Amino acid sequence: MEILKKKLEDIIKSLSKNDDNSLKNRLENLISVYPFNEYEYIISTLLGLHKITLDEYLEIRDEYVARNMYLYIFEISAPRGFGEQWAQGHLKELAPGLIKPTKKLDPTYSGEYDFLYELPNKEKIRIEVKASRAVDFNSREPLYVKALSWESKLPFDMNFQQVKLKCCDVFVWVGVWRDTIKYWVLASKEVAKNKYYSKGQHRGNIGEGQLHLKDENIKKFEKYEVKPTELVQKIVEAYNRQHSKK
């Protein structure tokens, strides 16, 4: 959004004084109702004043779409809609071999983890998925407005909550920026030993904690970051680390 705003501001500077004042006065009193907002009004005004051509508008649009491929994910307002429906569905698309657990597959299952992955020896890896979105920590705007790009220098705090270490073997964390999606795979014991993991998210919540992944510490997790094409491989490796004696 910052790039789009700067580009439009640069074009506005080329307006005559009368056109500039007229545009600014109209924007001050503009009522926005989706999908009609200040950007739609500015662009339509610039088109009407012949300050940009249709081809230039399409170029601005294409560049914006490329920078905001995942902005729609920030429009998912319900936490369960984002965490359970989108994040789990997204991982299932990337790794079709992941299986939704059932009582038949795991007689002790009661919803405490999200996926199973069966190894050739029939052992089953219990996988918990946690997802969060990177937004400007100091903004009170809606999520889709304060969504950050990967290159942004603004502070963010992605809080992975309700982390139950004993309920799974492997954690898959999904972090969403407006222009990229990142994945981290950790063994449960690696989360437990991590200096940024906090036990006891809420008073009385025994065995449940949280971990804050921030602009200040995200580089500390680079060794756990994985590419989407290697998710299954890294899940298996994390499972092996979980059950090693080291």
* Residue 53 shares a structural domain with residue 137: no
How many structural domains is the chain composed of? 2
Q: For residue 132, give its domain range.
A: 71-242
pLDDT of 173 > 80? The answer is yes
Task: Provide CB contacts within 8 A for 159, sequence distance 6+.
Answer: 132, 210, 211, 212, 213
pLDDT tens digits for range 1-59: 678 888 888 899 899 999 989 998 888 888 887 677 888 999 999 999 999 999 999 99
Domain termination residue (choose one: 14, 43, 67): 67
pLDDT of 203 > 70? The answer is no
* Residue 147 shares a structural domain with residue 233: yes
* Residue 153 shares a structural domain with residue 56: no
* Residue 170 shares a structural domain with residue 88: yes
* Residue 62 shares a structural domain with residue 91: no
Q: What is the mean pLDDT of residues 85-110?
A: 94
Single out the residue of 190, 196, 200, 195 nearest to residue 243, CA to CA.
Answer: 190
pLDDT of 202 > 60? The answer is no
The CB density around residue 133, as the number of other CB atoms within 10 Å, is 21
Domain termination residue (choose one: 16, 39, 67): 67
Comparing 114 with 34, the larger pLDDT belongs to: 114
Give me the chain's average pLDDT, please: 91
